[in-house]
Structure 1
Amino acid sequence: MAGRAAAKKTEDAGSRRRAQMRFILVEAAMQLFARQGVDATTIDEIVDLAGVAKGTFYNYFTDRAEIARAVASGIRHELNAAVEELNRGIDDPAERIARGVRLFMACAMQNPVKTMLLARLYDSGSGLDRQGNEHLLGDIRDGIAKVRIHVPSEEVALHLVVGLGTIAMRHLLDNVAGPEILRGQGYARDIATVLLRGLGVATAEIEDILARPCDFSTIGFK
């Protein structure tokens, strides 16, 4: 019994060390990608900044493209956590989707570097089983079940939200946006309006959803 417990403890410690090393590599890559772009960053530079041997890199990633996907996935999961916090206590799936998309746009102002990396690197919309889409897909399925949204399929709804949200983030990165974005107003409200219409939400209900005040500046994405 004691032997199994000791083995489990050793295994857990090894898992933590691997997770920590992977985190160090991803953080180093993110800093370099943000500073000089993915194409201009070499694996040598990543391991130098991380302070590890080059062979260590290949214990976790096969190439630069794979760690670039890991960087974007990490940012997406961070954003998903912020959306989950924002929507705590919100029962209406249509409202949750609209709030989530507007938060993504607010993040273009809160942290443009991370948002830029997410918008350029993350490939999220091609399938229902793609990692990072679980929360959104849950809201879509809940909306269909509650007859709050009306779409031909879950996949179409997912592509609409991810596609429109990604383009909106890129637009805000390339153009000057005012503080109204942090309240979900202006361009953010317009995008949410078009999105909810595309999901089949009635016009009067859209107005009710978007009339509810939101302060996205209080949601952490640093």
Structure 2
Amino acid sequence: MVKYAISMSIADQSSLSPRAARTRAALIAAGFDLLADRPIDAIPIDDVVARAGVAKGSFFNHFADKQDFAAAISAEVRMEVEALVTARNAAVSDPLERIAGGMQIAAQFALEQRRRSAVLMRGQGSSTARAHPLNRGLVADVEAALANGLLRPAARENGVLFWLALCQMLITHIVERKLGRDEAAAVLSGMLVLGLTGLGVAADRAETIAAAAARELGASSAG
């Protein structure tokens, strides 16, 4: 069985004592503030525990190392994004539109939550595996599209990684370039066309889906 260092972030934490839960929450909150401004390798553990107001030994009661810590923080943000994707796709049955909707939400999140997006990108490396719990929704949509003959066979093994990489690059581009909503919508449209056709979707259908997602992003109000 594959085990993930951030499993505590995505599973029921009721096994923690109230005190341990408070300590972990304080560490995560401190990490959000620090990781938004600098990469995890540039953040001493002493800075984390000082900001959290806990003993240094408490850090290692909850996290194996700084990379594990960054992954746990990133997972917290990723769960926010996944909740937004789930809400956006609740009434959407077409798996291609659902896949595109995930990228649209990624772009919207980057526009509206730039600091949290930076945190997401700085700890994302451990959540790209197809079997990772945070990727269940995307895996299901890719499988549904494959079952309907909408994607090329290679998407079964590599489609999820391919799509996650595109979404990560889109978020990074929007945040680093400080794009406005119209600029981001244009980039989203182009990446959706390239991404969907790369998965094997017919060009005309990819363009139609991309245009609709870009319109939706452009029309969405900033949060």
Residue of structure 1 in register with 2:96 after alignment: 94
What pairs up with 1:48-63 in 2 under 5 angstroms? 48-63=50-65
C-alpha change, 1:126 and 1:13, in structure 2 (3 Å) is closer
Instruction: Find the aligned partners of 2:128 and 2:216 in 1 and give their Cα distance.
Output: 30
Q: Which stretch of the first structure deviates more once superposed, 15-24 or 89-98?
A: 15-24
Shift in alpha-carbon separation, 1:129–1:15, aligned structure 2, 3 A: farther
CA 1:78–1:32 in structure 2 vs 1: closer, same or farther (change >3 Å)?
same
Q: Is the 8 A contact 1:34 1:117 kept in 2?
A: yes
Counterpart Cα distance in 2 of 1:124 and 1:200: 27
* Pair 1:14–1:113, CA change in 2 (3 A): closer
Q: Hey, what does 1:66 align to over in structure 2?
A: 68
1:2-21 alignment, distance < 5 Å? 14-15=16-17, 17-21=19-23
Alignment of 1:100-179 (within 5 A): 100-124=102-126, 127-179=129-181
Is the deviation greater in 119-128 or in 90-99? 119-128
Q: Using a 3 Å threshold, how does the CA distance of structure 1 residues 44 and 176 change in structure 2: closer, same or farther?
A: closer
Q: In structure 2, list runs of 5 or more residues that go unmatched.
A: 1-12
Aligned residues: 208
Contiguous gaps of at least 5 residues in structure 1: 1-10
Q: 1:20 to 1:135 in 2, by over 3 A?
A: farther
1:124/1:133 contact within 8 Å kept: no
Please report the RMSD computed on the Cα atoms of aligned residues, expressed in angstroms: 2.5
Higher Cα radius of gyration: 1
Distance in structure 1 (CA, Å) of the matches to 2:98 and 2:221:
17
The percent identity for this pair of structures is: 29
Could you tell me which residue of structure 2 aligns to residue 7 of structure 1? none
Which segment is superposed worse, 127-136 or 209-218? 209-218
- Determine if contact 1:124/1:162 at 8 Å carries over to the other structure: no
Specify the alignment match of 1:210 in structure 2: 210
Q: What SS class does the counterpart of residue 144 from structure 2 fall into?
A: helix
Change (3 A) 1:20 1:150: farther
* Aligned-residue offset at 1:157: 0.6
Amino acid at match of 1:25: L
Residues 108 and 24 (structure 1 numbering): CA distance in 2 closer, same or farther, change over 3 Å?
same
> Where does residue 42 of structure 1 map in the other structure?
44
Aligned: 1:188 with 2:211: no
Displacement of 1:61 in angstroms is 1.0
Q: Deviations over 1:149-182 (max 9, x none)?
A: 2331422111210112212222222224222256
| CA distance 1:125–1:158, change in 2 (3 Å) | farther
Q: Which residue of 1 aligns with 2:5?
A: none
Q: TM-score, normalised by structure 1?
A: 0.82
Normalising by structure 2, we get a TM-score of 0.82
Distance 1:112 1:58 in 2: 29
Which of 56, 80, 83 is residue 81 of structure 1 equivalent to? Answer: 83
